[in-house]
Chains A and B, each alone.
Chain A
Amino acid sequence: MTRHRTRAVRTLAFLAACAFALTAGGAGVPLDEIRQVLREQALTAPAESRLHDLDAANLAIGLQAIDPAARYFPRALYRSPNQGRDAMSGIGAELLPSGDDLWLLPFQGGAAATAGLTDRARLRTVDGRSIADLSLDEIAQRLRGAEGSRIVVGVEDATGGARRLTIERRSFRPLDVELVQPGAHRILRVREFVAGLTRPALLATVDFIENTATHQPEHAPLILDLRDATGGDLFEALDIAALFLPEGAHLATLVARGGVTKTLRAPAGTDLEQPLILLIGPGTASAAEILAGILRDHGRARLVGQTTYGKCDSQTDVRLSDGSVLRFTNRAVRLPSGEHCSGVGVAPDLSVDTATLNDLSRLVPRAIGAAHVR
Chain B
Amino acid sequence: MKPSIGWSMALIALWLSGCASVSTDPREGGLAGGIKGLSTGAYDARIQEREDRLAVLRQVQGELETEREDLEYTKAQRQRKVAAERARVRRMNRDIAALNRRVDSLSASANRNDQRVRTLRTRVPQIQSQSARLQSDLDALEGSGLGDSEADLRRAQLEQQRASLQAEYDLLNQMSLDLAR
Are B154 and A175 within 8 A (Cβ)? yes
Tell whether A200 pairs with B157 under 8 Å between CB atoms, given A80-B126, A83-B129, A195-B126. yes
B151, closest chain A residue (CB): A109
B157 near A175 with CB under 8 A, answer yes
Closest B residue to A81 by beta carbon equals B126
Q: Are B157 and A196 in contact (CB under 8 A)?
A: no
- Cβ contact within 8 Å between A203 and B160: yes
- Asked if residues B165 and A204 are in contact (CB atoms below 8 Å), the reply is no
Q: B-facing mask of A183-194, CB < 8 A → 1, else 0?
A: 000000000001
Which B residues between 110 and 155 are near A, CB-CB below 8 angstroms?
123, 126-127, 129-130, 133, 136-137, 140, 149-150, 152-154
CB atoms of B154 and A212 under 8 A apart: no
Which residues 169-205 of A have a CB within 8 angstroms of B? 173, 175-177, 179, 194-197, 199-201, 203-205
Residues from chain B with Cβ under 8 Å of A176 in the complex: 157, 161
* Alpha-carbon distance between A194 and B161 when the two chains are bound, in angstroms: 11
Contact with A along B63-92 (1 / 0, CB 8 A): 000000000000000000000000000000
Asked if residues B157 and A201 are in contact (CB atoms below 8 Å), the reply is yes
Q: Whose C-beta in chain B lies nearest to the C-beta of A239?
A: B164
Neighbouring A residues of B161 by C-beta, 8 Å? 176, 196-197, 200-201, 204
Could you say which residues of chain B place their CB within 8 Å of the CB of A173? 137, 140
Asked whether, in the complex, the Cβ of A84 is within 8 Å of the Cβ of B150, the reply is no
B149 touches A212 (CB 8 A): yes
Chain A, Cβ-Cβ closest to B156: A204
Report the separation of the CA atoms of residues A8 and B150 in the bound assembly, to the nearest whole angstrom.
33
- Determine if B137 and A204 form an interchain contact, defined as CB atoms under 8 angstroms apart: no
A175 and B153 in contact, given A83-B129, A83-B130, A197-B130 (Cβ under 8 angstroms)? yes
Bound-state CA distance A197–B164 (Å) is: 8
- Tell me whether A199 and B164 are in contact (CB under 8 A): yes
Instruction: Give how many B residues have a beta carbon under 8 Å from the other chain's beta carbons.
Output: 23
Q: In the complex the two chains form, is A109's CB within 8 Å of B160's CB?
A: no
Closest Cβ–Cβ distance, residue A309 to chain B (whole Å): 26
Which chain A residues in 185-233 approach chain B with CB under 8 Å? 194-197, 199-201, 203-205, 207-208, 212
Specify the chain B residue showing the minimal Cβ separation from A108. Answer: B150
Q: Which of B127, B137, B150, B160 contacts A200 (CB 8 A)?
A: B160
Q: How far is the CB of A68 from chain B (nearest CB, A)?
A: 24
A82 part of interface (Cβ distance < 8 Å)? yes
Q: Does B163 reach chain A (CB closer than 8 Å)? A: yes
In chain B, positions 23-72 with a C-beta closer than 8 Å to chain A are none
Write the chain B residue with the least CB distance to A212: B149
Q: Which residue of A lies closest to B159 (CB)?
A: A204
- Check A200–B126 contact: CB distance below 8 A: no
Is B104 interfacial (CB-CB < 8 Å)?
no
B170: chain A residues at CB < 8 Å are none
Residues of A within 8 A of B152 (CB): 208, 212
Q: Do A82 and B126 have beta carbons less than 8 Å apart? A: yes
* Chain A residues whose C-beta falls within 8 Å of the C-beta of B123 in the assembled complex: 195
Set A80, A82, A207: member contacting B156, Cβ < 8 A: A207
Which one, A83, A194, A195, A204, contacts B160 given CB within 8 A? A204
Cross-chain pairs A/B with CB under 8 angstroms, 27 sampled? A82-B130, A83-B130, A84-B130, A87-B136, A108-B150, A109-B150, A173-B137, A175-B150, A175-B153, A177-B157, A179-B153, A195-B123, A196-B161, A196-B164, A196-B165, A197-B161, A200-B161, A200-B163, A200-B164, A201-B160, A204-B156, A204-B160, A204-B161, A205-B156, A207-B160, A208-B156, A212-B152
Residues of A within 8 A of B (CB): 80, 82-84, 87, 108-109, 173, 175-177, 179, 194-197, 199-201, 203-205, 207-208, 212
The interface of chain B, by Cβ under 8 A from chain A, is 123, 126-127, 129-130, 133, 136-137, 140, 149-150, 152-154, 156-157, 159-161, 163-165, 168
